[in-house]
Structure 1
Amino acid sequence: MRKAPLLLSTAIAVALLSTQTLANELTGTLKKIKDSGTITLGHRDASIPFSYFGNDPQQPIGYSHDLQLKVVEAIKKELNLPDLKVRYNLVTSQTRIPLVQNGTVDIECGSTTNNIERQKQVDFSIGIFEVGTRLLTKKSAGIQEFTDLAGKNVVTTAGTTSERLIKSMNADKEMDMNIISAKDHGESFLMLESGRAAAFMMDDALLYGEMAKAKKPDDWTVTGTAQSYEVYGCMVRKGDEAFKKVVDGAIAATFASGEINVIYDKWFMQPVPPKNLNLNFPMSNELKQLIAKPTDKSAEQI
């Protein structure tokens, strides 16, 4: 009978030692989350249907946000934190990388292209989406290709790969376009809808999202040969392999279970807030291949 308390004390001591050892082994973002009991998610306000505000201006929603919440669930299990608090932090095209780098946000899942230039600053999860950069314009404008933009006002969103591509095209082909860089996708579309620009260049899925919220969606069309194919990923701090492993594992599990098909259908094939319009954007073969064989490589590397 005397041995029972001794064995119990030993078991408790071992358990405490194991817990302490785990805490000591944690580094980087996982340690930050464990110590604070909070994870901070970076999100967008107008990247429909990836990450944006719907009817509630305080609650981000979207395809990428749903995947981000899968990551949160995985981190709860990894760190044994069932009551993990989730904090939201709005980012823009210009601030998203700095806010990941300086630790203000722990992960950003929105509409961020994984490219070689950005890989020097942050790490990316396995790909979550693949897009082509095209044009949104009025059907009556007579614009079908990028060559039709010569001498016209063209809007894009500042800090995006589309901005870099259209400026390079303008210089290389001497097209005399007036390129307007708006602060976000919502402002870009507003400039297009109000007639201050003839076309809006951006990732095709985002253009379908903007078209869905137009006053008269049938007046608009997405057109033009894609100038690039780009893979979206979730951003995490560079060199934080332990955290990236959990992020990748959560997304890969969502792919493998087939739940990604439900998430995709919800945001691209069904009516979405705020106007409950349907994007009618079927899953591309490129995205199907990405889901079947997940990779953290950019389209430039695939």
Structure 2
Amino acid sequence: MPLMLKILSRTLASVAVIFGVTHALAAGTGTGQEKAASTLERIRETGRIRIGYGDTAPFSYRLPDGQVVGYSIDLCRQVSETLRKQLGLASLQIDYVHRTPRNRVQLLNDRIIDIECNASTNTAERRRSAAFALSHFYASTRYVSLTRHGLQTVDDLRGRSVSVALGTVNVGQINELNRDRALNLSIVPADGLQAAFDLVKGGQVSAFAMDDVLLSAMIAASRQPQDFSLSKELVAAMQPYGFMMRLGDDPFRDAVNAALAQIYRDPKMAGLYRRWFEEPIPPGNITLHQPMSPRLQQALAQPREETGI
């Protein structure tokens, strides 16, 4: 009897090991890949994908009627449709979740959102806390100021006050510039892009440092665009934008990137870009007049991960 119990015990242990290995292979090897596989599996089981959006025209924003729109949103809708087909789903519901520059990574890590579809700059520092999809835009950093002040260069800011939006890479950029150039700036943090822009509009600060494409959109959407000017000199060089996903979600990240590579190479991609950067956009029918840059053209023609920035 004791011998039979030992044999039975060994058999049950072997079955448990085999089951554990099979389960690990199905979900991916290692903790990170298990998390990644669970994202796709959750989407398959629930028929829902959770997309983070912002207040960042023309990339992602909500219209007065409640509809979430934008260049990034259009791309992520197409990605979602590709995932729907790959997962064999009859339909895939998109749940839009508002995010801010300060909480976007936390929402990813807390699994409140599956992917952030906005205008997040892909940097080496950020890649330590989030995975990035293939780049969908490139932007440089400038500053906006009131036209009547005649500010155009970095040195024009010497001794002045500059607002920055908390949670953006521009905070580090302006701090570094302040140290390197000994500008003696008074740096004023604001909770959000619009709040930082409003400090310039109200005269509380001299300038707001931010990505030039976003500043252009905010100026165009203001009641008196002629009151604002973008600096001629860059605050920081051109950097890529990418959709953020959780670290370790390798299968999900790979599926998103495969879908984006296909979308980018499609001839319809040029029209999608024009829709948001060269034609009137809602709700105010403003036009950014921003043709596709040569760098973005190259990135769309030959999609690749950004790892050297």
Please indicate, yes or no, whether the TM-score normalized by the shorter chain is above 0.5: yes
**What does residue range 12-91 of structure 1 map to in structure 2 within 5 Å?**
24=26, 27-44=37-54, 46-56=55-65, 58-91=66-99
- Which structure: larger Rg? 2
Distance 1:104 1:217 in 2: 37
Aligned partner (choices 266, 269, 282) of residue 260 of structure 1: 269
Residue 119 of structure 2 aligns to a residue whose secondary structure is coil
Deviation for aligned residue 1:25: 5.5
Whole-Å separation in 1 of the counterparts to 2:91 and 2:56: 29
Quote the offset at 1:174 in angstroms: 2.5
Confirm or deny that 1:126 pairs with 2:134.
yes
One-letter amino acid of the structure 2 residue matched with residue 60 of structure 1: V
Give the paired residue count: 277
Distance 1:261 1:173 in 2: 40
Q: Which residue of 2 aligns with 1:217?
A: 225
> How many Å separate the matches in 2 of 1:134 and 1:140?
17
- 2:203 matches 1:204: no
- The answer to whether 1:158 aligns with 2:163 is no
Give the aligned residue type for 1:261: A
Percentage identity across paired residues of the two chains? 32
Task: Determine if contact 2:144/2:207 at 8 Å carries over to the other structure.
Answer: yes
Q: Gaps spanning 5+ residues in structure 1: where?
A: 1-20
The aligned residue for residue 10 of structure 1 is none
SS at match of 2:43: helix
Residue type at the aligned position of 1:286: R
Deviation at 1:271, TM superposition (A): 1.1
Q: Are residues 1:181 and 2:189 paired?
A: yes
Q: CA deviation at 1:24?
A: 4.9
Does 2:108 align with 1:107? no
Q: Which runs of 5+ in 2 are unaligned?
A: 1-22, 29-36
Deviations 1:28-62 (A, max 9, x none): 31012112221110110x21111112232x32211
Q: Distance in 2 between matches of 1:152 and 1:274?
A: 34
RMSD over aligned Cα atoms? 1.8
The separation in 1 between residues aligned to 2:268 and 2:197, in whole angstroms, is: 32
The CA deviation at 1:139 is 2.2
Worse overlay, 159-168 or 221-230:
221-230
User: In structure 1, what residue type is equivalent to 2:43?
Assistant: I
Q: Which residue in 1 is equivalent to 2:294?
A: 285
Instruction: Tell me how far apart the structure 2 counterparts of residues 202 and 82 of structure 1 sit (CA, whole Å).
Output: 42
SS at match of 2:306: coil
The residue type equivalent to 1:190 in the other structure is: D
Residues 216-269 of structure 1 show CA distances to partners (whole Å, capped at 9, x for unaligned) of 112322223221221010111112221112111221111111222111111111
Report the Cα distance in structure 2 between the residues aligned to 1:261 and 1:194, rounded to whole angstroms. Answer: 38
Which residue does the alignment assign to 1:232?
Answer: 241
Partner SS for 1:294: coil
Give CA deviations for 1:128-175 in whole Å, capped at 9, x if unaligned: 110111111222211111111111121121111111110122233321
Bigger mean CA deviation after superposition, 86-95 or 170-179: 170-179
TM-score by length of 1: 0.87
Q: 2:166–2:192: 8 Å Cα contact kept in structure 1?
A: yes
With normalisation by structure 2, the TM-score equals 0.85
Per-residue deviation at 1:98?
A: 1.2
